[in-house]
Structure 1
């Protein structure tokens, strides 16, 4: 997939018309520590407010992050949310030129309360179809833009913009001009999208439109073929959440793509990332199968972020490397680690480093590593080998060989990479990794941290994380010996 990424970003990126429902996504971050005396409900104490582009605007933001020239066409109201969208577009380098204002409609706004997980969503919207005059205006604008673009994305969130009076003339004109049209559908009737090239429904949308439960790959294939027939599309790409994606083409065997293995933090906007990546890849010359696999990788990146977000080319390149290169597994040699860290640093990620024996893993270790990981984007762990542990702890240690210790640590989601070192100190390893943050336990002082001078010399920092009091490998060993002591 690295070659596919390079093919997408080596030449001139495509020009794309994004037509659809524009949404202002607002995140209210706060805390919940009390229950109301007025009613048995939690009290949300609001802190930060963060507005971001949503719906078709998020699709446009994803394309812009890939370097595409984007023409965003949609309808907004004459209200503060519309002004917020214009401000966000300007900040991200996207033109608001083709936003059509309708003072009789509210701008779609979705407000999410997060503390720390999403608790509630408040929607302000209308689903009324555009009136005939406004629909004609949007269709005429889209047709006027078609000569200037390589393809079209229709982002239908069922908020009244993607009506037949708009889609039929635009799709017909695009087909006559040889412009591919990719649709994220919300209608229950896929004949509504006739003239589209590819449709990208999620599992729920495909189930609803095909009137069948997609419980296995055979059902997905059958539904996809029926939906291709209904829409007369060349392909249907069904996004199936934790089960990956399925690309269905009428005359070919289906392609079922397994899910990306990254941890899911938030699925908001993942469909926008999928359609943006898939379309960008197709317009860059990739076939549908390669484009779908690249979109699957991009989705795996974006669900690892909190809230509506985009994926950059560097992040996509790193994710492809992590999927395909065996040298980028978790337990790495020193040379492999340097290459992996370099990839993440090119993606703008913050590297955290710590080291230790981690013999007989316990809750103190777990909390320490979780706190260390929270200080950056990637946590690299230098693990003492057996010989160096014996020099540090005595001949009876370690209890667990370093290969087994590394395997256990690799199972922790907070640990990204592990490398085993044999020196008495991790200084050589620190000089190779050049972490942004060097972490040690609270039993150290800054002056006693090995590598502090080297890290601070190039602008890095040292952080001390407190241990859980009273918990250590030595105390656990002593407790076991006392509890199971047997008199001769």
Structure 2
């Protein structure tokens, strides 16, 4: 995944509330004689791009080409934002209005935030500013548009709906407030658990209420997809069904800007050709890196790759893919020069013969995809008493093997349609197909037969159990 993302530089527009995140770092060792409050001795100050600016920072760290449209004030904070974005090479439409630029000052001592001081005026931008933002969108082409809504007035209901209606590229949104009607028709929104609870009117306290809230938002606001971030519990994706993805965070120092990282990661990954579920895996890793830092931080692809390796494992569930997902994965792999190997079977009771067979298949290329007969398919092929193990169990066990990269369940009697989707470089079957036609051999570049381990088969294992042997 990361190797593919390194080659991608999608053009992404960020529209939303820009602000300055001002940090004062120091030590706190005494109480003020003037009032019962702590005294912080400031040792360092730092200004960072905040709000939509942090989304921009995250996209830049991933390697995207970024443009931004927003409104700033006619003040030093607004000028600082403009200079900072120019220095980073970001194309900007920064409209100046008679309002203060939002600035959030955080006082931090011993890695703990003591107080936050906000300077802002959260009023809707003018109609003229709305028209200027629409004009810049209509005059330029982007691969994806991200709307970063902090409720400071840039993303008015009128502007938000105009952007969604006029755009021919995906619109991903980090929402704000309780009324999501202004986001109607968006491709993806990424509220956290509290925001999703407030917007749906359903208090999320378990998986049942989580599912109800997610699908309420999806249905009532005509959203193609919803992702609810769940802090230390990871995130939940709502497309055709609800899927939960666990968090990868080891230590949490500061959640400031974590939502910006999630939005930016989803946008970058999907604009680079990854599926929503692959993007969720990437976003979870990126968020895991960011919350281990102090302040509105970012994560580079190098950091994310190192973090993934440090975790020491790949979740088996992440390796179980749909037809469309595996087709996209195979296409990207072949484009990058990797050799894709495909084999298939029932793999009902996994045994030594299966493992050695799959190890040999993996040695033939770079990526091994296993097509797995569904339960109904196995019954038609093997009889009503089979399979012994249900399809999800079989898929999970296969996906846990080191030799196997991906598993795809197919319902048909043969994997021909799946092979057409994947177009593998090498098709592998057992040596018992020596005098038979191998399904899909007309599609794969090469077909290779592998010898089985003598005496090892699911049928023989079942017979031994039945005979108490």
Alignment of 1:221-236 (within 5 A): 221-236=211-226
What displacement does 1:144 show? 2.5
Q: Does 1:32 align with 2:28?
A: yes
Structure 1 residues 93-113: Cα deviation after superposition (integer angstroms, max 9, x where no partner) = 333x311111x1110100000
SS at match of 1:307: coil
Give distance in 2, aligned partners of 1:196 and 1:143: 18
- 1:259 aligned to which of 230, 240, 247: 247
Alignment of 1:208-223 (within 5 A): 208-223=198-213
Matched with 2:122 is 127
TM value normalised by structure 1: 0.62
Give distance in 2, aligned partners of 1:254 and 1:320: 24
Give distance in 2, aligned partners of 1:54 and 1:256: 29
Q: Does 1:9 align with 2:2?
A: no
CA 1:33/1:323 → structure 2, altered by over 3 Å: closer, same or farther? closer
Matched with 1:164 is 157
What displacement does 1:29 show? 0.8
SS at match of 1:242: helix
Alignment of 1:378-397 (within 5 A): none
Structure 1 residues 42-62: Cα deviation after superposition (integer angstroms, max 9, x where no partner) = 112222110001111110111
Matched with 1:378 is none
Conserved in 2, the CA contact under 8 Å of 1:28 and 1:111? yes
CA 1:119/1:129 → structure 2, altered by over 3 Å: closer, same or farther? same
Matched with 1:108 is 102
SS at match of 2:79: helix
Matched with 1:389 is none
Give distance in 2, aligned partners of 1:166 and 1:61: 24
**How many residues are matched?**
313
Give distance in 2, aligned partners of 1:210 and 1:230: 9
Alignment of 1:354-373 (within 5 A): none
Structure 1: give runs of 5+ residues left out of the alignment: 327-488
Give distance in 1, aligned partners of 2:313 and 2:229: 25
Give distance in 2, aligned partners of 1:200 and 1:317: 23
Conserved in 2, the CA contact under 8 Å of 1:198 and 1:234? yes
Give distance in 2, aligned partners of 1:195 and 1:9: 31
SS at match of 1:255: strand
CA 1:92/1:262 → structure 2, altered by over 3 Å: closer, same or farther? farther
SS at match of 2:274: coil
What displacement does 1:189 show? 1.4
Alignment of 1:409-428 (within 5 A): none
Conserved in 2, the CA contact under 8 Å of 1:190 and 1:230? no
TM value normalised by structure 2: 0.65
SS at match of 2:146: strand
What displacement does 1:245 show? 0.4
What displacement does 1:324 show? 4.8
Structure 2: give runs of 5+ residues left out of the alignment: 315-469
Matched with 2:70 is 74
- 2:135 aligned to which of 118, 125, 140: 140
- Give the RMSD, CA atoms, in angstroms: 1.4
CA 1:44/1:125 → structure 2, altered by over 3 Å: closer, same or farther? same
Conserved in 1, the CA contact under 8 Å of 2:16 and 2:52? yes
